[in-house]
Structure 1
């Protein structure tokens, strides 16, 4: 995966484009909500932590570790959150989707699912992946339910997997979607985002 190339993905609901330092002001409108960051590895619910979050995401892209996107609601043109590719393994044809957060008023609207549609389509298509992984804190029931609703398979829990906020070592629940499942998911869970023609 070429981390220096601009990747722009779009469907009927959302547009994903590379996250940039200049997105800080637009993100402030949706990020300053402590509940959004409750189970994340870092925080972004005030100016200092959000600036650090954006800077770290952009630096990780420059280092080839993570490809962060801004999620834009096409109806309003507003940036509503962010998501990323990471843990890229071209040898194993595997990639992870994560670091995803969406402003509270845009949750349960289908916009996160629309963003996942774009990321999965690109991963299984242009990136020739055989497997896409997603992970979340085991305490984050809302995230776990969302992954199941989009057709991902829960594979298990990695105990004491990563350090998280407050000096806690979190248990991480791993989900995946594999390439043979993608055709069926495109016609069911993600059908509304598929281009007809």
Structure 2
């Protein structure tokens, strides 16, 4: 990863993805409290008290060339409404994952996630030149699974007994992907979804 990549903001009509820094800590702590997102048992979202450590861990992964983390800013309100990340970036295999995504409750079911995925996938396939992008979620997180499928991703499989969560339950993880040959069709689908948001 070079400095130019780290300093890149990705701008859309509805949101801006800003490279994550510790300066986002206070705003992200406010955003995560909108809906008490850390209480969601099927995903891992930081408590406001843990936000600094969360950001530091993201920056450490960036320093190893494994991640690019972003704060999500709403262009209309100017507020930070969540966070997302390119992670598990295997540069030698031209493959990465999009994850660590969460949004304030007030920003959910809006154009925010659709445009964030369009920006990140465009950056991954067209700038970073990857040949596959993964998405992973808890097998029981039906909302996330449906959202990933709506993006145009295909299910690759299920990693059974994959992780032990903070509440000591065992997570089976569903893995999805989009590959480079599918990207043009997926991209057009995401653009069409954004138009439908704008017209509604």
Structure-1 residue corresponding to 2:24: 23
TM-score, normalised with respect to structure 1:
0.89
Q: State the alpha-carbon separation in 2 of the partners of residues 136 and 91 from structure 1.
A: 24
Aligned residue runs from structure 1 range 1-197, under 5 A: 1-2=1-2, 5-32=6-33, 33-35=35-37, 37-41=40-44, 43-45=45-47, 47-191=48-192
2:174, 2:76 → 1: CA distance? 33
- CA deviations 1:30-72 (Å, max 9, x no partner) are 102434543224x423x32223222222222223332210011
Residues in 2 aligned to 1:92 and 1:71: alpha-carbon distance in whole angstroms:
28
Distance 1:144 1:50 in 2: 26
Larger helix percent: 2
- The 3 A distance-change label for structure 1 pair 146 and 95 is same
What's the CA shift for 1:91? Answer: 2.2
Matched residues, number: 192
For the residues of structure 2 that align with 1:149 and 1:21, how far apart are their CA atoms? 33
Q: Deviations over 1:96-150 (max 9, x none)?
A: 1000001111000020110000000011101111110010111211111110111
Q: SS of 1:133's equivalent?
A: strand
| In 2, Cα distance between equivalents of 1:93 and 1:84 | 16
Residues 21, 58 of structure 1: 8 Å contact kept: no
Q: Distance in 1 between matches of 2:93 and 2:64?
A: 20
Kept in 1, the 8 Å contact 2:96–2:132? The answer is yes
Q: Which runs of 5+ in 1 are unaligned?
A: none
Determine if contact 1:154/1:175 at 8 Å carries over to the other structure.
Answer: yes
CA distance in 2, matches of 1:175, 1:57: 22
Q: State the TM-score, normalizing by the size of structure 2.
A: 0.87
> Partner of 1:82: helix, strand, or coil?
strand
Secondary structure of 1:174's counterpart equals: strand
